[in-house]
Every structure is written in C-alpha cells, then in structure tokens.
Amino acid sequence: MTKAKPSTRSRAYAARPKDETIPSEQPVRPKGKPARSRQPISKAKPTRSAQLTKLLRRKSGASMAQIQTAFGWQPHTVRAAISAQRKAGHRIERTRSDTGPVYRIVTEGAKP
C-alpha cells in the first residue's frame, strides 16, 4: 500500500511560517511617488448629484426621460437619486405630463 502524496499547494503553504507573507502579495509601488494623485477641487468634474440638482433647479424641471438620457440611468435609479435629493433637504415637486413625471426643486434647506 502506497501513501498518497500531499498536493504541491498544501506542501508550499505548510512549509511557510504563518506570519510570513508571500512576496507577490505585497503591494508594489515605486518609492518616492505618492499613492494617488488627485485633481485640485476647482478642476474636478461636478458630481452626479450636483449635475442632477442643476437639472432639477431649472424652471421647467426635468422629466424622467431627460434624466435617464443625461445620465444613462434606468427609471428606478432616477427615482432613487431623486429620493436622495429629498433626504438631502430639497423639496421636490412632481407633476405629470404627457411624456411622464416631471420633477422640480421648489425649495431647499433643512428638513422640517
């Protein structure tokens, strides 16, 4: 009767002490360079939330279809983003039109 040899993988891990790390698992970064460079805030692209707020502040507001086209979102994502705007303290008015619901920011400020 012959004993089955343990797999190569288990032998490699068994031979290594538990607190020692494998060199390939260590992060590689050139010395002297920052971990990540960031753009100055003045040149940063506006967030989607800020872009949505700008659309909703227009006198005519923004329809569901316009928001979907502007951001490439599905309808449920548009509704969630509008809900987030409400939670942020904006009062949003919803009116119906032949093209669908139209959303508009009426007032902003702290929650009542």
CB burial of residue 104 (10 Å; 0-12, 13-18, 19+): middle
| 18-61 confidence digits (pLDDT tens) | 566 555 665 666 666 666 666 666 667 889 999 999 999 999 99
Binned at pLDDT 50, 70 and 90, residue 99 comes out as confident
CB burial of residue 26 (10 Å; 0-12, 13-18, 19+): exposed
pLDDT of residue 20: 60
How does the average pLDDT of the chain come out, rounded?
79
pLDDT of residue 104: 96
Instruction: Single out the residue of 83, 102, 79 nearest to residue 91, CA to CA.
Output: 83
pLDDT of residue 80: 97
Binned at pLDDT 50, 70 and 90, residue 69 comes out as very high
pTM for the model: 0.57
pLDDT of residue 107: 79
